Amino acid sequence: MELSRKKTMVVGLGESGLAVVHFLRERGAWVRVNDQRDREALGAAATEAEALGAELVLGGHPDSAFEDLDLVVVSPGVPPLPQLEQAEQRGVPVVSEVELASRFIDAPIVAITGTNGKSTVTTLIGEMSRRLGRPVFVGGNLGRPMIEAAGTDAGGANGLVIVELSSFQLERVSQMKAHVAILLNITPDHLDRYPSFEAYAAAKARIFERQDAEDFAILPADAPDLRELIVDGATVVLFDGRSGEVRVVDGVVTDTQSSLRVPVAELRIRGSHNVSNACAAVLAARLLGVRHDDIASVLSDFKGLAHRTQYVRSVDGVEYIDDSKATNVGAAIASIDGLRGPKGKIVLIAGGVDKGGSYQPLRQRMSEEGRGVVVLGEAASLLESAFADSPIEVRRATSMPDAVAHAAALARPGDTVLLAPACSSFDMFRSYAERGDHFQRAVETLGEQS
């Protein structure tokens, strides 16, 4: 794709949008930036884009800004816009940052998606792949925008590009070809954006676009319905369950195609859902050629990621776990399932910005495993309604320290206080990470550690 002297537009000046501005300007393109937010809200990003020579059209999406263009690049957070549809009708290519990046990357691409577990699996595969001695790029939705791999050693033919991809990033993928594409799971999420669960699943399934028999589509063995989402000719390989090539056998993570054996008890990541994530990462790493002893070494040493079923401390016989990244109901349930045990029950802290799904599955699981629920944020009333007449106590909090105090009062020795909000964080916090940090600080102010 030739970019020099092309008239381009970047819609959405978040982290990936700004990275695209850099990329386009470095290749001689004329760039216009469009964002719903104004200059004050964008802050340093607007200043940086302007310093690069981009024209800024801020505070809305005027039709005139979308005229006379050769290419439009859409950032992940931008919702469907009529102006984008009109540009496509005029024959203007409208692509995602991920799609644009893929056209300038020669390295094999390993792409990971799913409602839950993406970041853990992406990070694990990245650490395992570095044992190959090849330049490796790890990013996407996890951190660094994929466009930053273009033009680097990792993005060259001898490198390897490993990216976490959200449904938003996959919406406008058309030519990107993943050598290894992983779909970990799909549960209802982002229904405030998608008209149906089927539309959300279809966006996830775009990860398999353009794969052929030399490529691998990795899927969970216990979700046969997900195989219907693969329409191209990839080689399907399964993980976990009873028939996965990598699965747990008698308490041991076992690769049935190699001699890898790692007891689950030796893993440093918590929760049965993370054991499943480990199986997916092991399978992908083996397909990429990583030696089984290197895979086992990384798997045993991996401590997990911050705010993802992260142990904080124990107080008066109660464990406090930060899973602030559990931003949907499915993730919250997976966290509860991964932590349940014979000793105690779960006291859940939940709430934030509602994402349009039902809380009834969470009510059912907590009715089985829970002792109490503390709700806060914009979705507090919805959660209270969902848990009305349930067998567990529900309390409302006004802040995270208040929520932790309520949870501590509800918990008994042997219980677990779990922050798994089932909602996004943007009502009270700038990110799930900030929310988790507030939780951890509140926990640290509780009584003496036992």
- What are the catalytic residues? 118, 141, 190
Q: How far apart are CA 288 and CA 140, in angstroms?
A: 19
Instruction: Produce one character per residue of 412-438: b if its CB has 16 or more CB atoms within 10 Å, e if not.
Output: eeebbbbbbbbbbbebbbeebeebbbb
- What span, in angstroms and rounded, lies between the C-alpha atoms of 89 and 87? 5
Pick from 276, 101, 292, 275: nearest CA to 178: 101
Token pair of 314 as six digits = 């124990």
Under 8 Å between Cβ of 136 and 111: no
Is-contact 318 343, C-beta < 8 A? no
Distance CA 4, CA 6 (A): 5
CA distance 198 to 385: 26
| DSSP string covering 177-206 | --SEEEE----S--TTTSSSHHHHHHHHHG
Q: Distance of CA 58 to CAs 15, 52, 118, 323, Å? A: 16, 16, 33, 35
Q: Side-chain half-sphere of 355: how many Cα atoms within 13 Å?
A: 25
Q: How far apart are CA 379 and CA 359, in angstroms?
A: 10
DSSP structural state of residue 37: S
What single letter denotes the amino acid at residue 216? F
Other Cβ atoms less than 10 A from the Cβ of 186: the count is 23
Q: Read off the tokens for 426.
A: 């943007």
